[in-house]
Structure 1
Amino acid sequence: MPLNQQNQMELLSDILNNHQTDCCGSVAECEQVERLVKSLMVHGNVNSQLQSALEEIYKYSQEGIHTQHLEEHIQSHQDNLKNWVEDMNTYF
């Protein structure tokens, strides 16, 4: 069963919130974030503010996938993670 836009936003928010609160994550989670963002950007009707956040989140996921030090990457994005989750929570 495919996820609808609401489910995708909730899952994305949950993963990013976990990165923010736990200060750790996995490459698999970054890959999942990448897939969710791609789907939302291609198939979702998102406003320009959320579109901008999704582009930043996509870049974050790409960097996370390719970094040798994922925990440091997550730690360096703590403020962004908090803001992204807050932004997404206003839309669902």
Structure 2
Amino acid sequence: MPINHEHQMALLKDILTEHSMDCCGTVSECEQLERVIKSLLGNDNINQDMKAMLHDIYSYSQNGKYSNNLDQHISNHQNQLSQWVTDFDQYS
């Protein structure tokens, strides 16, 4: 059974929160972010401001997935991660 967009948003927020708090992550998490974001970008229930943020998160996950040092990539994006987590609260 597919998850709805609210559950997808919660999943994204959870992964980003973990990255922010732990300053580490996995390639699998980056790939999960990408899959969920692709699904959300095609959803008409998601507003344009949220879609713009999703594009930014998608770029973050793509760059992280191909980074030589994912943990350093995550550390370098702490401010953005915190902002995205905060922004999820505004959109939900």
What TM-score, normalized to structure 1?
Answer: 0.95
Residue 86 in structure 1 maps to residue 86 in structure 2: yes
Q: 1:68 to 1:44 in 2, by over 3 A?
A: farther
Structure 2 counterparts to residues 36-75 of structure 1, below 5 A: 36-75=36-75
C-alpha displacement of 1:87: 0.7
Aligned residues: 92
Cα distance in structure 2, aligned partners of 1:61 and 1:4: 21
Q: Distance in 2 between matches of 1:44 and 1:7?
A: 15
Structure 1, unaligned stretches of length 5 or more?
Answer: none
Which aligned segments of 4 or more residues in structure 1 are displaced greater than 2 angstroms? Answer: none
TM-score, normalised with respect to structure 2 = 0.95
Q: Please, what is the CA RMSD of the aligned residues? A: 0.9
Cα deviation, 1:21-64, whole Å, max 9, x if unaligned, reads: 00000000000000111110012422222111101000001001
Structure 1 match to 2:77: 77
Distance, in Å, in 2 between the alignment partners of 1:17 and 1:44 is 25
Q: Identity across aligned pairs (percent)?
A: 48
